[in-house]
Structure 1
């Protein structure tokens, strides 16, 4: 249901932080806040606006004629029962107040220092430095600010990135010249998975420093909370590609710390927008847990997760745990953790959210009636892309030495 109201007439030019209706691509008007303004050649202004209560990825520069300065339009306010407008290719962008599972969909509370850091980061990155990125055959709308050099950003709203080596540039003719000498047609590092058109390359940040930096800067255009840009040496990057006669096209990736004190099996994870909603994000999550199982551990992604990340992880955890419970029937949370590599707390919270948890004889048990479990199993959508664990050619690294753990703890604790 839509609730509508009229806005008052505004004086021009509009001041920063003014809230005013703005016409979205669906033709409706939504409340927006003025973040910045620039004079236009025709004597009017262009305004950088944020749609109130929607994700920052929708922030954009608009001409003055999109704003209801006369106060004539009705403001569309989306109710929770109809959250799908405005939309971009990812669907609803309204900030959800509802939980998608304990520990998964709830707003993660930050300590005061982190909260102050987050506010500072949002202020510094409130305006996107690019509108679009040209990546191979794709012209992709940018979601967030990324800290590229001032030289590459100067007077250019479109970023150009070589899809093979990930080097970035400002001009199409530079890319044309670059492609004549760029010999890379797949990511550097070691191919540890190959099955059909899909491959995964393990890339060490300390050995392929420039490639990993460029990958992080590209990823930041689509990740709001990512802070890893330049210090890539402590990380391994797992790059998923889809191959054709040209080469191995980067679809997405995840990174993980070589030494994680909190057993994080993913630091950052991203499927590039042209490949989203095709099952690749879930495949990346599955791959991260296949590596975790090979290590004989359980793991969990670093928080905070993005809204899309929360949905993707909860969906994966639910699918894996419900299917395994159908095969195992009554089993403990501890056993599910051992079989899946999913951290105990994540298993516990998902099963609790589903109502599949009971405490019996000193431990949490996964339990639900056969009829209810069968109903859940039948409703589970089958994944579009799956990883075949038998095709993974990877040996876990040796466990860290105690002095390395002590050093890492000292660096973490400051």
Structure 2
């Protein structure tokens, strides 16, 4: 048998033939150039083969190699996680196939349409999709009317129906049926269904369709809680929710006049032979009778000083008080909170334990005078107090009046008892309220409703005379009977308006209560959105300009913008997302009660040094 001849593949055979024919010409072309990875590996191999100078350098090189390998592994792991995230995002985006429709997405919350969520609605102008109830925060009635008419105008496209200008004022109005919007100054006459601040409102044309009389409704721009003429309550007032608005002496006098006039008419007509007495003589006779009564105090004139009490009477009163209320009652607590009656026909429940002395602390019900805040635990005591009370407004200077509301400034050093009663009343609803005895260093601004009887208190805020920190408000209270009326933001607006006249910027005293945080966040959001919508045509907006316009501190402005995701950091600069975020908020978020500067009559205390109005001046020295 002969020897086996080696066989070559076609590729090797071709290479052999080509190399033998022309080795210099074709060998360089056929040999591929080394890649960058091959060159790096070869360089590392050469470095490892070179002898080192000592053992320490070898160990150091080994440690460096181990560290570099660990770093490379961590980098590869991070790259792998980023690639996984990108793949998940691409899977979430779902590349559309040919002829496949895109899943609708909300412009506000960036969430896709889900079967369990409410259906998206498309804007008539810009074709953007929104959740009407979830994102635009429309009520159920407005949502039903929008879906029925199939017409939605988003907050970025909405304009005033009268002047056709962009809406950015806090007194804007929006009809609940036709969904047209107006500025507060351009709004037509309309009708509010309830007395709440942000209640359902219908314009004049929609009122005609619904057969609603516009004359019976309050003013369109500023809802009022004043009772309508001819209004009769559906249910009688119970024993707990009582309201005594009639003076007993005046009622008796009116009844006497009525009887005397009827007797006089009967005598003149010939139906009676008895001649009635003269009206003036009976009036003087009744007055003399009241003056002779030792226990009647109705003859006191307004603002007349109360007679001094003898020492013997005071000692007997204190002794009787100790005998009637022993010390065992001091440790008693009322389970479930005390019932507060404020003399307006409505009652509420106290949230925290009262700081009153006995017997008020252990009483189940507390009765307050709606004018002077006199406090008692007996209903009959309050009735007797109302017969003799001459106060019809807080004991201070009126600094603001607009329609049916008014503000009074009360100095704690002058009216100490009244201010202490205010603080004790606030302690029933505010947990962080601790200072209620030392009121001499505070000024109280009391908000009242103007009624036919007088000025009824609905809330107040206090402020330090010489703040140690940059605080323009110390304590804020709105009575529970008048909540959801917009009075909380109105009190906050008054504090910032006073800061504007003082040429300073400030913030509330911390810590804030839960309701206080909600009230301030709503006010800050409304002020910032109104400013951004009014200055949308400016090329540059700074935090300093916003602070000078709103008198809010820059820290409060930045925190609120970050909370609402309106501000973003790009590089070294902060940018405000106007069209992408700020203008997408519904105009109901801008709506609030505000102070008219032209109706505020208040002069600040002159500063020790002149202040620059273009600088961010602080309260703290």
TM range (shorter): 0.5 to 0.7
Native 8 Å contact 2:355 2:361 kept in 1 = no
Which residue in 2 is equivalent to 1:168? Answer: 375
User: By how many angstroms is 1:183 displaced?
Assistant: 0.5
Q: 1:380 aligns with which of 578, 589, 594?
A: 589
Native 8 Å contact 1:128 1:144 kept in 2 = no
> Matched residues in 1 for 2:570 and 2:541: separation?
11
Q: 1:268 aligns with which of 475, 479, 498?
A: 475
Native 8 Å contact 1:129 1:157 kept in 2 = no
Native 8 Å contact 1:334 1:344 kept in 2 = yes
Normalised by the size of structure 2, how large is the TM-score?
Answer: 0.42
Q: 2:499 aligns with which of 292, 298, 302?
A: 292
> Matched residues in 2 for 1:176 and 1:167: separation?
11
Native 8 Å contact 2:449 2:457 kept in 1 = yes
User: By how many angstroms is 1:208 displaced?
Assistant: 0.5
1:178-257 correspondence to structure 2 within 5 Å: 178-257=385-464
**Aligned in 2, Cα 1:161/1:286: closer, same or farther, shift over 3 Å?**
same
Higher helix share: 2
Which residue in 2 is equivalent to 1:111? Answer: none
Which residue in 1 is equivalent to 2:356? Answer: 148
1:286 match: secondary structure: helix
Native 8 Å contact 2:507 2:553 kept in 1 = yes
Native 8 Å contact 1:241 1:251 kept in 2 = yes
> Matched residues in 2 for 1:188 and 1:128: separation?
35
2:503 match: secondary structure: coil
Q: 1:339 aligns with which of 545, 549, 554?
A: 549
Structure 2 segments unaligned to the other structure (5+ residues): 1-330, 610-618
> Matched residues in 2 for 1:134 and 1:366: separation?
51
Which residue in 2 is equivalent to 1:350? Answer: 560
User: By how many angstroms is 1:322 displaced?
Assistant: 1.4
**Aligned in 2, Cα 1:126/1:228: closer, same or farther, shift over 3 Å?**
farther
Native 8 Å contact 2:525 2:590 kept in 1 = no
Q: Deviations over 1:249-300 (max 9, x none)?
A: 1010100111112111110001100110111111111111111111111111
Structure 1 segments unaligned to the other structure (5+ residues): 1-123, 402-407
2:476 match: secondary structure: strand
User: By how many angstroms is 1:360 displaced?
Assistant: 8.0
User: By how many angstroms is 1:248 displaced?
Assistant: 0.5
Which residue in 2 is equivalent to 1:77? Answer: none
1:41-80 correspondence to structure 2 within 5 Å: none
2:394 match: secondary structure: coil
User: By how many angstroms is 1:345 displaced?
Assistant: 0.8
**Aligned in 2, Cα 1:361/1:236: closer, same or farther, shift over 3 Å?**
farther
> Matched residues in 1 for 2:332 and 2:427: separation?
11
Whichever of the two has the greater Rg, that structure is 2
1:152 match: secondary structure: coil
2:443 match: secondary structure: strand
> Matched residues in 2 for 1:268 and 1:318: separation?
21
Native 8 Å contact 2:366 2:376 kept in 1 = yes
Native 8 Å contact 2:354 2:361 kept in 1 = no
1:335 match: secondary structure: helix
Q: Deviations over 1:85-134 (max 9, x none)?
A: xxxxxxxxxxxxxxxxxxxxxxxxxxxxxxxxxxxxxxx99967951111
> Matched residues in 2 for 1:409 and 1:374: separation?
35
Q: Deviations over 1:50-105 (max 9, x none)?
A: xxxxxxxxxxxxxxxxxxxxxxxxxxxxxxxxxxxxxxxxxxxxxxxxxxxxxxxx
User: By how many angstroms is 1:326 displaced?
Assistant: 1.9
Higher strand share: 1
Native 8 Å contact 1:264 1:301 kept in 2 = yes
> Matched residues in 1 for 2:620 and 2:491: separation?
28
User: By how many angstroms is 1:331 displaced?
Assistant: 1.0
User: By how many angstroms is 1:217 displaced?
Assistant: 0.5
Which residue in 2 is equivalent to 1:392? Answer: 600
Native 8 Å contact 1:323 1:377 kept in 2 = no
Native 8 Å contact 2:530 2:590 kept in 1 = no
User: By how many angstroms is 1:386 displaced?
Assistant: 2.6
**What RMSD, in angstroms, separates the aligned Cα atoms of the two structures?**
2.6
**Aligned in 2, Cα 1:128/1:231: closer, same or farther, shift over 3 Å?**
farther
> Matched residues in 1 for 2:465 and 2:516: separation?
22
| Runs of 4+ residues deviating >6 angstroms | 124-129
> Matched residues in 2 for 1:339 and 1:313: separation?
17
> Matched residues in 1 for 2:525 and 2:577: separation?
14
> Matched residues in 2 for 1:326 and 1:381: separation?
10
**Aligned in 2, Cα 1:372/1:357: closer, same or farther, shift over 3 Å?**
closer
**Aligned in 2, Cα 1:400/1:264: closer, same or farther, shift over 3 Å?**
farther
